Chain A
Amino acid sequence: MTTRRPEGHGSARQPPERADDLLRAWLPEGTVGLSILGDLYEEYDELVDRGAPAPDAWFWKNALALSARYALLKTKAGISNTDSMGGAVMELMSTLMTDVRFGLRMLAKTPLLSAVAVITIALGVALTTHTFSSVYGAILRGVPVPGHERLVYVGENRLEMGISDMEMSVHDFEDLRAQQTSFEDVGAFYQGTVNVAGEAGPPERFAGAYVSGNLLDLVGIQPIEGRLIRSEEEGPDADPVIVIGHHVWQNRFAGEPGVVGRMIRVNGVSTEIVGIMPEGFRFPFLEDVWLPHRVDANALERGQGSDFDVVGRLREGVSLSAAQAELSTVAARLEQTYPESNGGIGMIAYPYTDRFMPQEIQAVIWVMLAATFGVLLIACTNVANLLMARASIRSKEIAVRTALGAGRWRVIRQLLIESLVVATLGGAVGVFMAWLGVDAYRRVVADIYKPYWIDFRMDVPVIVFSLAVTALAAVAAGMLPALRASSLKIGEHLKDESRGASSLRLGRLSHALVVSEIAVSCALLIAAGFMIRSVVNLNNVDLGFETERVLTGRLGLFENDYPDPSAREQFFLQLEERLTAQPGIESAALTSSLPGLGGGWYYMSVEGVSYPTDADHPVILTSFVTSDFFRTLGVEPSQGRVFDPLEARGGGDPVAIVNESFAQTYLSGTPVLGERLQLGLPRSERPWHRVVGVVPDMHVGGNVGGIGDDLERPERAFFPFGAIDLSFASFAVKTRDDPESLAPSVRTLVAELDSNLPVYDLLSLERAIDDATWAFSLFGSLFTIFGAAALFLAAVGLYGVMAFGVSQRRRELAVRLALGAKPNALVRMVVGNGAGQLALGILIGVGLGAVMSRSMRVMLYGVETDDPVVYGSIVLTLAATGLLACVLPARSATRTDPVQAMRGD
C-alpha cells in the first residue's frame, strides 16, 4: 500500500498518522487494503461526529490488531512458499511453537512478574535503540554521497601558536592541488550568505558555498537539471553563475521548468542559473546555493585573500595516514619556499564529518550509548533475577522433567525460550517506544542549525541493531537461570520437600547480579547528576546583562551595493538612527557580535609591554559597538564611562573599553583608565586606543552549546563600532513590550532603507541564547531520563530479589517469631543482608561514575568532576531507595501469622 494519505472530507479531524502508516505498511495491496482502510475511516469519522471518547485510541487499537494479523499471515505465506525448505522449517517452527506456547502459559501464571520483566526489557531496548539512532544519525551514517568514507577534510595548523586547526589560504590550496598525489582531487569552499533579489517576491537570504570549480564534481553528485560549476568559472572575470538547491527551486521558483538559463540578481550582480541540485543535497554543511569562489590567487600577494575549507577525495587504496604523510611533505616544502608566510604551518587531514562533529561531542554521544547499555544491562540483570526466582520455585518441576528423561539441552531450551518470549514481547514494546521517541526527538531537533546529513530515524541499521539488542537481552537474561536450573542434582530435589539448604536458592550469583546492578545505576545517576547540575547552572548563569525585552537581528551588506567603507558606515548610521526613533523602542545599538553568542578573536597589544614573539600577544574576544550598546543591555560601567556617539563612529580620539577580567589580567598594577591598547599585532600599525571605561564581565559564549571559552579566557575588549570596516553587523534594541512583536516593524524599517536587504536571525535575545545552548538541554534531559530509568530499574530489581528472598525464608522467620524473636530485630536482620549488597554496589558505582563523568567533562558547565554535592546526593538517593526496597518485604514477612506461615507451603 503506497498511496498517499488522503485529506479528510466530512470530518476535520484526522486519524493518528503513525497508525495510518502502520496500516498502509501491512494491509494487502490494492482495493482490498484500501477498502479496509476506508471502512476504518468511515467508522472513525462516525465516532468523531458522535463525539465518542478517544477516537484516536480506538483507531490505534484497530490498526495494531489488523496490522499484527496481516503481518502474521504474510510471514506464514513467506515460509510455506519456500518449497524445498518449507517442510523442515515448518517442522522446526511447530516444535518451537509448542515451547513458545508453553512459555506463554508459564508467563500468564505469574502475570505481575511477567509484566515487570517485559516492561524492564522494553525500557532497556527503547533507550538503547534511541541512543543508537543518535549515534548512527550523527556519526556513522556519514555524508550521503558516493564513497563518502574517502571524503577527507584538509586543514592547516600552527602548533607553536596553539592553533591546532585552521582554514587554508588560497595560495596553499593552489600549491596543494598542484603537488599532491594521494587524492583523486582536492576542492575548496568558503561559506557565506547569498542575497537573491530581482525576481518576484522579496529579497531573500540563502546560505551559500563559494566553491572551486571542481568541488561539486569531486563530491560526486550530479545536478537534476543543467550542469555543475566549471573550473574556468572560478576566476573573477568569468560570467557569474549560480547552482541552486532543489528546495530553492521549489520554494523560490515554485518548481517551474526552464529556470536553468534564467538571469537573477545575486548579491547585486546579474547571474545565470546553470543547474539545479537533487533534493536533499546541501553539501558542504546546510547550503541552499553554490557559486564559484571567483578568487584569483595570482592577483593576490601570498598571505592575502580569503581562507578556504579544503576537501579531498582519497584515491582508492590510499590510507588516511599515507595522505597525512604526503601533506606533511607538502607543508614542509611550502615552509621552505615561503618561510615568511608559511613558517610553522603544517597540514592535517581527517574524515570530513569530523570537521562539523568535533571529537568531544562524538565522545559524549558514545558515552551516552555506553550509558544506555548500562541501563540495558540492569534490565537484563533484573529479568535474569526474576527468572531465577521463578526457576527456583520450579526446581521440582525441572527435576521431575529431568528424571523422566528430558536432556539438559531440552531443559535449557525451554527456559531460554521463556526468556526469549519475555525479551521478544519487551523488545516489541521497546522498539515501538523507541520509534515514538526517535520521531519526537527528530521533530525537536528539526530546526537546529546542523549538518545536513545528521538525521535521526528508525532506518534499517537501527532496526537491525534493536533486534540484535533484543536477542542479546534474551540470551543474557535467560542463559544464567537456564544453566543453573539445569545443573540440579535430581535426587536431592525430588526428596526435598521443604525449602531447605539444598534447594535451588538465590545464591551468590543472584547477589552478585544485584550488586552489579546497583553499581551500574549508581554510575549512570552520577553522570546524570553532573549533566543536571550543568543544565541548572546554565539556566541560572549570571550572564552579566539583561536579556528581557531585547530584540536582536543581523544584516550583511554586499560589496556591489555598498562598494566603499563610507557607504557601509553611512548605512549603519542611518539604521541606528531610525531604530532609535522607532516607537516602542527605548534604545538601539549596533555591534559586530551579540553577547552570549560568540564573537571574533583579535590579537591585542598593551602599550609598554614587550612581546618577544607573536604568540605572546593576548588573543581577546573583541566586539565593536555603538554608544548605546551597554545601555541597551542594562550594563553600567564600574569605572569610567562608555563611548559617546562621536567616538562610537570612529571620530575623535581612539578609545576602548575593557571588562574587569581584562583589567585584572593585563592591566593590573596600573590605573586602568588611560592605558592604551592596540588592535592586532604592532606591525598592523593601527592606532592606540585609550581605555575610557571598565565594564563588569559579560558572558559572551560561543563554544560547544554556547559555552566554553568563557570560563578559561574571560577577558573581553570593546572598541568603537567605527574602528574597523564592517560589512556584517548585529543590532540589539531594548523594547517597551514583547520584543518579538516589534519584529515586523523592524523588518519594514530595514526595507525602507534598502529593499534588497534581508534581515536574519530576528529573535529576542532570550531566544537567541536558548537556541545556542540547545545541545546542553538536549543531552541534559537525555541523561536525566537514563538516570531515572536506571534508578527505577535498580529499585525494582532490588525489591524483587529481596521480596523473593524473604518469601523463601518465611518459614524460618515464622519459627524465629514463634520462638520469641522481636519483629524489629528480624527486620534488621533481613535488611542487614540487603544493606551489605547495597553498600558494595554503591562503592563500585561511585568509582565507575567518576570515570564516566571525567570522559564527559567537555559537556559540564560550572561543576567540577569531583563535586561532592553530586556524589553525596546520588549516594543518598540510591541508599534510601535501596533500603526501602529491603524494608518493605521484611516488614510484610514479620507481620504474617506464624502458624499459617509454618503450615502453608
Chain B
Amino acid sequence: MIAGAVYKVYHEVDIVDSGGDVSRNGYLGEFEQMVLLAILQGGEDANALQVRRELETSAGRTVTKGAFYTTLDRLEKKNFLTWKARVPDEGRRGLPQRHFRVTPQGLDELRKSRAALVNLWRGLDEVLDTA
C-alpha cells in the first residue's frame, strides 16, 4: 500500500518537474528529498551512479535517468547541492565524474521537510498500520 503511494507520488513528481518549480511552497518535492538523502547516504564523495543506485536499492525500483539528472540540475540551481568534477585515472573514456555534496541550505530544507512530515504522521500509526 505504502509502496503504491510512493509510486504514485513519484510519478506525479516526475511529470510535474518538467513543468517547473516543484517547491514553490518552500517544501522539497518527494523525489528531491529522496535524491538529497541518497547523496547523504553515499557519504562524502557520492557520485551520480552511487546516488542513483542508493535510490534504487532504498526505494526498490528503477529511477529514470532523465528525471534523476534534471532533478540534480534543479537542486543545484536552488543551491541545495554542489559538486566537484574529477577525471578518474581509468575508465569512463577520460570523461569527468561529478561528486555531489548537500549544502547547508539543503540540509536545512531537509530538516524542515522532516519536521513537517513528522508532525503530519503524529497519531496516525494505528490508522495507517491497519489500512
A residues adjacent to B (C-beta < 8 A): 6-10, 28, 31-32, 34-43, 45, 62, 65-66, 68-70, 72-73, 76
Contacts and interface: CB of A to CB of B under 8 A. Distances in A.
11 contacts: A6-B94, A35-B97, A36-B65, A36-B69, A37-B95, A38-B93, A42-B49, A65-B64, A69-B18, A70-B66, A70-B70
Contacts of A34: 95-96
Contacts of A41: 92-93, 95
Contacts of A35: 48, 85, 95-98
A9 B47 CA distance: 20
B65 A31 contact: no
Contact of A9 (B67, B94, B97): B94
Interface string B20-64: 000000000000000000000000000111000000000000001
Contacts of B49: 39, 42-43
Given A35-B97, A38-B93, A65-B64, 15 more contacts: A6-B94, A8-B93, A9-B90, A9-B91, A10-B90, A31-B98, A35-B98, A41-B92, A42-B92, A68-B66, A69-B18, A69-B66, A69-B67, A69-B70, A70-B66
B12 interface: no
B94 A72 contact: no
B73 interface: yes
A378 B70 CA distance: 42
A32 B92 contact: no
A10 B91 CA distance: 6
B97 to A, nearest CB: 6
Contacts of A9: 90-91, 93-94
A66 B96 contact: no
Contacts of B67: 69
Contact of B91 (A36, A45, A66): A45
B92 A38 contact: yes
Interface of B: 18, 47-49, 64-67, 69-70, 73, 85, 90-98
Nearest to B76: A32
A9 B65 CA distance: 24
A764 B48 CA distance: 56
A330 B43 CA distance: 88
A39 B90 CA distance: 13
Nearest to B72: A32
A14 to B, nearest CB: 9
A40 B91 CA distance: 12
B94 A65 contact: no
A38 B66 contact: no
Nearest to B98: A35
Given A31-B98, A35-B48, A66 B66 contact: yes
Given A42-B49, A65-B65, A32 B90 contact: no
A32 B48 CA distance: 11
A37 B67 CA distance: 15
A203 B57 CA distance: 65
B85 A65 contact: no
A38 B73 CA distance: 16
B74 to A, nearest CB: 10
Contacts of B73: 28, 32
Contact of A66 (B18, B47, B69, B93): B69
A153 to B, nearest CB: 50
A73 B18 CA distance: 7
A35 B72 CA distance: 12
A31 B91 CA distance: 17
A70 B73 CA distance: 11
A38 B95 contact: yes
B97 A6 contact: no
A718 B88 CA distance: 72
Contact of B48 (A39, A62, A66, A70): A39
Contacts of B98: 31-32, 35
A736 B77 CA distance: 74
Contacts of A65: 64-66
Contacts of B70: 69-70, 73
A7 B91 CA distance: 11
Output the residue of B18, B73, B92, B96 with the most chain A CB within 10 A: B92
B25 to A, nearest CB: 21
A62 B48 CA distance: 15
A31 B66 CA distance: 17
